[in-house]
């Protein structure tokens, strides 16, 4: 799958990242994790201390897929408002989901402090602004729901926004204690942590087939370099490429665009260096980096064809810089890195752990959506708990057939 193209900022922040050998023998293990991106790394982290024989295989190098294109705004709020999710799933369901999302951000912070590689984790507040007057009432209802469920936030009117920022919006939710991270360094940090705990990591090892051995009660995974791996459990954490292994009808894809600017001398106009996004669809979002760059992304396009997607990159780059200039006219920034990538979502707004009859003892981690890093952390912990303890109390929230809805 041609997932993305362009130039990538995150790998430049860790030019001497650890490397790992290719698989050169047949293996047997308790858990095989397929994918060395963010999701696979988060699974490896949670399984590293479980006294299990764990193996990770990555077809290229660690963090080289969608992780390198991830903008890594860490929030509990997402593209679908919680008030809309309640209409589909009910209040109790979404209240549990919201609590798990908040815990996942805390888990990312804890993990970033538990590893030896600096992940550039920073707590940041978020400005979620109304793009037009028609969205103010929706934003107000969302604020009231979140406030009721113990989220730390404020509702800002136009005048207060104008005192803090060099742009104006009719209203906004101001959320405290969201976060940002360097996803490339974070992925390497988790893999490094797992490797130090005995998890075996193999790069340049691509899966090219699988079958279930009923007699052994194991999945047998074959690789392109001619070896096989027997595993009691397999976690398919291959990001969007997992869809090529197992189709999931709830997954949908668009193309998205991202710019990372040059280092900026003065960010004093950017109140608290907040994460910024808005109610418009497709929306614009922004964050800063540790070395004073600005990442601005969005302007999603409905195309699913790589050639069409790539042909729009230069124009979208220019439009994203224009959007930045509209909001922060005194900041002198140019596009230094820019990319386009396929971006996956789940149509009902809740990420998926896929368990399918034709893949016994397997988990498909589909952490698709605008909070991919947070979703991955949440789902990775659930999967690890399910393997280690035999059952996770939260698994049913995220199974692809939504069993809790059927039981209501």
Q: How confident is the model at residue 287 (pLDDT cuts 50, 70, 90)?
A: very high
Answer yes or no: do 244 and 368 share one domain: yes
Residue 88 lies in a domain: no
Out of 346, 361, 381, pick the residue that ends a domain: 346
Position 106 in a domain: no
Residues 31 and 167 in one domain: no
Query: Can you give the pLDDT at residue 307?
Result: 80
Same domain, 173 and 265: yes
Q: Are residues 159 and 258 in the same domain?
A: yes
CATH code of the domain covering residue 221 = 3.50.50.60
pLDDT digits (tens, 9 = 90+) for 21-34: 999 999 999 999 99
Same domain, 132 and 167: yes
User: Do 360 and 292 sit in the same domain of this protein?
Assistant: no
pLDDT at res. 3: 65
Q: Is residue 277 part of a domain?
A: yes
Q: Which of 346, 367, 394 is the last residue of a domain?
A: 346
Q: pLDDT for 57-95, tens place per residue?
A: 999 999 998 888 889 999 999 889 999 999 999 999 999
User: In this structure, is residue 132 part of a structural domain?
Assistant: yes
Do 260 and 162 fall within a single domain? yes
Do 240 and 353 share a domain, yes or no?
Answer: yes
Residues 61 and 208 in one domain: yes
Identify whether residues 228 and 146 lie together within a single domain.
no
Instruction: Identify the domain containing residue 328 by its residue range.
Output: 122-177+251-346
Q: Per the structure, how many domains does the chain have?
A: 2
Is residue 370 assigned to a domain?
yes
Tell me, yes or no, whether 188 and 241 share the same domain: yes
Average pLDDT, the chain: 93
Which of 325, 346, 367 corresponds to the end of one domain?
Answer: 346
Q: How confident is the model at residue 303 (pLDDT cuts 50, 70, 90)?
A: confident
55 has pLDDT over 70: yes
Residues 170 and 295 in one domain: yes
Instruction: For residue range 250-270, list pLDDT tens digits in order.
Output: 877 777 889 999 999 999 999
CATH code of the domain covering residue 276 = 3.30.9.10
**Would residue 92 count as lying in a domain?**
no
C-alpha distance from residue 105 to each of 47, 363, 376 (Å): 19, 22, 11
Is residue 205 in a domain? yes
The pTM of the whole model exceeds 0.85? yes
């Amino acid at each position: 799958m041609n997932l993305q193209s362009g130039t990538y900022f995150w790998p430049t922040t860790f030019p001497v990242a650890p490397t790992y050998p290719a698989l050169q023998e047949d293996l047997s293990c308790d858990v095989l994790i397929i994918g060395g991106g963010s999701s696979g790394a988060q699974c490896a982290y949670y399984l590293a201390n479980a006294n299990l024989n764990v193996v990770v295989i990555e077809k290229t190098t660690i963090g080289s897929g969608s992780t390198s294109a991830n903008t890594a705004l860490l929030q509990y709020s997402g593209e679908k408002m919680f008030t809309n999710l309640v209409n589909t799933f009910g209040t109790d369901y979404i209240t549990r989901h919201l609590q798990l999302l908040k815990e996942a951000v805390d888990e990312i912070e804890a993990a970033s402090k538990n590893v030896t590689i600096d992940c550039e984790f920073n707590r940041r507040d978020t400005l979620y602004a109304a793009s037009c007057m028609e969205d103010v009432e929706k934003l107000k209802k969302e604020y009231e729901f979140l406030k009721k469920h113990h989220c730390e936030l404020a509702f800002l009117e136009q005048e207060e926004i104008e005192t803090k920022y060099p742009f104006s919006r009719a209203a906004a939710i101001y959320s405290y204690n969201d976060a940002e991270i360097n996803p490339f360094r974070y992925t390497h940090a988790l893999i490094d942590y797992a490797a130090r705990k005995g998890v075996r990591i193999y790069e340049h090892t691509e899966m090219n087939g699988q079958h279930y051995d009923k007699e052994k009660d194991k999945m047998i995974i074959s690789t392109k370099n001619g070896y096989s791996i027997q595993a009691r459990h397999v976690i398919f954490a291959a990001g969007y490429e997992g869809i090529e292994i197992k189709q999931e009808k709830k997954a949908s894809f668009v193309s998205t665009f991202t710019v990372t600017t040059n280092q900026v001398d003065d960010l004093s106009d950017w109140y608290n260096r907040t994460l910024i996004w808005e109610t418009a669809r497709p929306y614009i979002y922004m964050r800063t980096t540790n070395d004073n760059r600005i990442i601005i992304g969005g302007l999603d396009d409905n195309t699913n064809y790589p050639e069409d997607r790539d042909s729009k990159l230069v124009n979208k780059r220019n439009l994203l810089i224009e959007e930045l200039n509209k909001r922060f006219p005194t900041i002198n920034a140019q596009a230094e890195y820019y990319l386009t990538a396929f971006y996956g979502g789940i149509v009902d707004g809740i990420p998926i752990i896929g368990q399918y009859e034709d893949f016994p003892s397997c988990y498909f981690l589909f952490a698709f959506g605008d909070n991919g890093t947070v979703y991955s952390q949440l789902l990775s912990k659930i999967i690890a708990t399910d393997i280690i303890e035999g059952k996770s109390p939260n698994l049913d929230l995220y199974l692809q057939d939504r069993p809790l809805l059927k039981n209501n």
